[in-house]
Amino acid sequence: MAPVGPRSGDAIFANMERVNAELFTLTYGATVRQLLTDLEEVEEVNKQLDQMGYNIGIRLIDEFLAKSNISRCVDFKETAEVIAKVGFKMFLGVTASVTNWDADGTCCSIILEDNPLVDFVELPDTFQGLYYCNILSGVIRGALEMVSMKTEVTWIRDVLRGDDAFELQVKLVKQVPEEYPYKDDE
Amino acid sequence: MIGVGKIKQYSNILDKPLSKGKQEVSLSAYAFLFSELVQYNQTQVDNIAELERRLEDAGYAVGARVLELLCHREKGNRRETRLLGILSFVHSTVWKVLFGKVADSLEKGTEHEDEYMISEKELLVNRFISIPKDMGTFNCGAFVAGIVRGVLDGAGFPAVVTAHFVPVEGQQRPRTTILIKFAEEVLRREARLG
């Protein structure tokens, strides 16, 4: 069989089974509110959302690789582009762009043009420390960890906090060398 | 704290135009999110009933908002005041917006006057879920039951809503039935309205 090239995010999204974004938005909102009630501390909620995202990321990467036909990225630059152009499109149906590269190409910003998580959301003054979309940064961190990249993902700009865009900084901490999961003597 | 000291541009959410609600996300994204919601709640409880109650609560919060949203968008700010009207609103309008289709069936209970059932061959939230044996009758449909209760309660029709699996002959997966049991006052009012 001829090798199949990577597919575009649009094409994959068009072929995915889809649900109404409002159901997704409201379910996420219900989740965040539940966490706020249970954990009380905004910091704890941020942590829990990140953890949930991480759990999703480590499973989501499988589906991502299976459906996108993307093979190993040559460098972190390509990785970031793939997350923005294919990953976000495929799962959330939104486009993102990559900017603000540092000199050695290990740190960049992903800018979300559209964010289905925040429809109908207004952050009350009492929760100003909340990173409402923190689940997304967890997803990216978890997914990249599964392809041997340790990253730090932080929110730089957040529309809910009064900024003009959603900006996620993704920083490559280290590339974990691949190891076989078994030893010779086993 | 980040964010403090910045001048916050207060864009009032009510000033924004209401979206038409045609946007979509992948079913996978939803399934991942929902499974995290269930797993998180599992860590907060020590029995199945409590877990269902928590999922129902989460659903209730969704339902209350869905009612407001849909009344505004689809019905010109009018809401149903009659029992059958609100039931068909849930079964058709709400279901269609949330799950992309009208619910498979809406029936009146044969044994009790105050019971109605909405059935779905395969409920969205149960699609990727298989219940381990030791969790007995647990049903993630509790979340959808919560949505239904949220809509009904917000519209002035308090009810007890529960989700149940009903085995179907010749099919591997049971269907999910959402059982709605209206409060006494609802039926009294309905009788008075004639």
Count of pairs with CB atoms under 8 A, one residue in A, one in B:
132
CB A91 within 8 A of CB B25: yes
* Joined tokens for residue B124: 């969205």
Categorize the per-residue pLDDT at A182 as very low, low, confident or very high, splitting at 50, 70 and 90.
Answer: low
By a Cβ cutoff of 8 Å, what residues of chain B touch chain A?
A: 1-4, 6-10, 12-13, 19, 21, 23-30, 32-34, 36-37, 39-41, 44, 54, 57-59, 61-62, 65-66, 69, 97-100, 124
Residues in chain A: 186
**Angle, alpha carbons B106-B110-B113 (nearest 5°):** 90
DSSP3 helix / strand / coil % (chain B, rounded to 5):
50, 15, 35
Give the Cα separation of B95 and B98 in Å (integer): 5
Check residue B20 and give its pLDDT. Answer: 77
More confident residue, A3 or B113: B113
Residue B43, CB half-sphere, CA atoms under 13 Å: how many?
11
- State the Cα angle at A120 between A116 and A122, rounded to 5°: 110
Q: Which residue of B has its CA nearest to A118?
A: B13
This prediction has a pTM of: 0.90
- Walk along chain B (194 residues) and give the pLDDT tens digit of each residue: 454 444 444 567 777 777 777 899 999 999 999 999 999 999 999 999 999 999 999 999 999 999 999 999 887 888 899 999 999 999 999 999 999 999 999 999 999 999 999 999 988 888 887 777 778 788 899 999 999 999 999 999 999 999 999 988 888 888 999 999 999 999 999 999 98
pLDDT of residue B7: 46
Q: What is the residue type of B64?
A: A
Query: How far B111 CA sits from the closest chain A CA (Å)?
Result: 33
pLDDT at residue A3, as a whole number: 52
Q: What is the pLDDT of residue A151?
A: 96
Provide CB contacts within 8 A for B93, sequence distance 6+: B70, B74, B75
Residue A4 pLDDT exceeds 70: no
Smallest Cα distance from A84 to chain B, Å: 15
Q: Select the more confidently predicted residue: A2 or B125.
A: B125
The residue-averaged pLDDT of A30-51 equals 96
C-beta of residue A119 within 8 angstroms of C-beta of residue A22: yes
Whether ipTM exceeds 0.85: yes
